[in-house]
Amino acid sequence: MSCGQSALRARRKTGRLHRAACFVATVACASCGSGPPVMPAVMETPTTAPAATAAPEPAGTGLQVTGTAPTSLDGSLTVVVLEPVPATPFEPPEDPVQMDQLGMEFLPPVLLANVGQPVHFHNSEDVLHNVRVYNIDTQETAFNISTPIGGTYEHYFDTAGTYRVACDIHPAMGASVVVTSAPYAAVASRDGSFAFDDVAAGSYTAVVQAGAERSRHAITIAPGATALTLGGT
């Protein structure tokens, strides 16, 4: 099953093996709380040859970007992704992100993750749940596992997309995981407003996912051009 996927991924990088081995167990390993340091959000530039044109700026030197995007008709939160143009290689963070099961809910309701980043599905309450995850475009199932009390399951998404998260034991439970290969993604507020703290100046495609609606917008971010209006209301 997907446990094997995780193990394969784990072998790709030294240091992941321990975590993968632990998280396929039914009880979370206490030592997993201390993961490796956070990787920079932007891939390192080569040191042997200078980049011909605009190289990514180091993290911490970017711009604060704010804006508004359309809200969804179904009440789900809008997600805004900034894809660099032209596309640049992006190393996914090694630190995991987590979707919890608590109070008969998935938390957060929308989780952002990168392709190749560890994603943890944890059960924090005294109730047996399961987690069934499928791509909303292809309807293809990513995995379907039970999450015993206190248990954590680790998954690496291979493909960017929006995934629905369901618990078949409690049909009222639902959430989404938005998986990207982009360095910047944000979940908007209920009114469609969003913010990014540290964006390198340059050209991007802003991809807006508002419920089932997806739109793409060509934008340029530069000093003095950091306010985005991405269509609709």
Among the listed ranges 45-53, 75-83, 134-142, 167-175, the one in contact with Cu ion (CB under 5 A) is 167-175
Q: Please give the Cα distance from 17 to 6 (Å, whole number).
A: 9
Q: Please give the Cα distance from 23 to 117 (Å, whole number).
A: 14
Position 167 contacts Cu ion (CB under 5 A): yes
Q: Which is nearer to Cu ion, 164 or 170 (CB)?
A: 170
CA atoms within 13 A on the CB side of 106: 27
Contact residue for Cu ion among 9, 16, 120, 129 (CB under 5 A) = 129
Task: Tell me the closest approach of the beta carbon of residue 130 to Cu ion, in angstroms.
Answer: 7
By CB under 5 A, how many residues form the interface with Cu ion?
4
Residue ranges in 185-204 that form contacts with Cu ion under rule CB under 5 A: none
Question: Residues near 127 by Cβ (< 8 Å), separated by ≥ 6?
Answer: 104, 149
Position 122 contacts Cu ion (CB under 5 A): no
Residue 5's φ and ψ, nearest 5 degrees, are -60, -45
- Could you list the beta-strand ranges (E) of 55-183: 63-68, 79-84, 97-102, 105-107, 110-114, 118-123, 129-135, 141-147, 152-156, 161-166, 174-180
Task: Tell me the closest approach of the beta carbon of residue 167 to Cu ion, in angstroms.
Answer: 3
Task: Tell me the closest approach of the beta carbon of residue 126 to Cu ion, in angstroms.
Answer: 12
How many Å separate Cα 141 from the centre of its chain?
18
Position 170 contacts Cu ion (CB under 5 A): yes
Q: Which is nearer to Cu ion, 165 or 188 (CB)?
A: 165
Task: Tell me the closest approach of the beta carbon of residue 168 to Cu ion, in angstroms.
Answer: 8
Among the listed ranges 10-18, 46-54, 129-137, 148-156, the one in contact with Cu ion (CB under 5 A) is 129-137
Task: Tell me the closest approach of the beta carbon of residue 103 to Cu ion, in angstroms.
Answer: 11
Q: Which is nearer to Cu ion, 69 or 165 (CB)?
A: 165
Q: Which is nearer to Cu ion, 71 or 130 (CB)?
A: 130
Position 132 contacts Cu ion (CB under 5 A): no
CA atoms within 13 A on the CB side of 89: 5
Q: Give the footprint of Cu ion on this chain (CB under 5 A).
A: 129, 167, 169-170
